[in-house]
Chains A and B, each alone.
Chain A
Amino acid sequence: MSNFKISVRQFGVHAILVEWPNKVEESILDEILQFIQYLKKNQLSEKEWEFVPAYNSLTLICKDTVLDFDYFKPKLKEWYTLIEKVSLAPRYLWRLPVSYDLEFGLDLQEISSQLGLEVERLIELHSNSIYTVYGIGFLPGFMYLGGVPEALEVPRKSTPRSKVTKGSVGLAGKQTGIYPQDSPGGWNIIGKCPVPMFNVKNESPCFVTVGDKIQFYPISMAEYQLHKIEAEVGIYNIEKIVLDA
Chain B
Amino acid sequence: MLNILKSGFFTTVQDTGRFGYRDKGVPVAGIMDSYSTSKVNTLLENDPNCAVLEITMTGPQLQFDEDTYIVLGGAEMSVTLNDIALENYKVYQVKSGDILNYGKLEKGFRAYLGIKDGFNTEAVLGSRSFFKPITEKDSIKKMGDLPYTTCKLFNPKISQLKVDSVLDKSVLEVYKGPEYKLLTDNQLGKLFYREFSVANENNRMAYQLNETIEENKVSMLTSATLPGTVQLTPSGKLIVLMKDGQTTGGYPRILQLSDMAMSILAQKRSGDHIKFKLK
Contacts and interface: CB of A to CB of B under 8 A. Distances in A.
Contacts of B257: 12
Contact of A206 (B24, B133, B247): B24
A55 B23 contact: no
Contact of B25 (A50, A59, A138): A138
A141 B25 contact: yes
B224 A57 contact: yes
Question: Which one of A22, A56, A205 has the greatest number of beta carbons of chain B within 10 Å?
Answer: A205
A9 interface: yes
B222 interface: yes
A139 B25 contact: yes
B278 to A, nearest CB: 13
A205 B125 contact: yes
B137 to A, nearest CB: 13
Interface in A27-49: 46
Interface in B17-75: 19-27
Interface majority SS on B: helix, strand, loop or mixed?
A: loop
Interface residues of A, number: 41
A181 B24 CA distance: 14
A15 B247 contact: no
Interface residues of B, number: 33
B228 interface: yes
Contacts of A51: 23
B175 A10 contact: yes
B177 interface: yes
A11 B177 contact: yes
Interface in A145-169: none
Contact of B23 (A15, A52, A180): A52
B197 interface: no
Given A12-B175, A17-B178, A55 B25 contact: no
Interface string A7-29: 00111111101010010100000
* Those 7 A-B pairs whose CB atoms lie nearest each other, nearest first: A137-B248, A59-B224, A12-B256, A206-B24, A55-B221, A52-B224, A57-B223
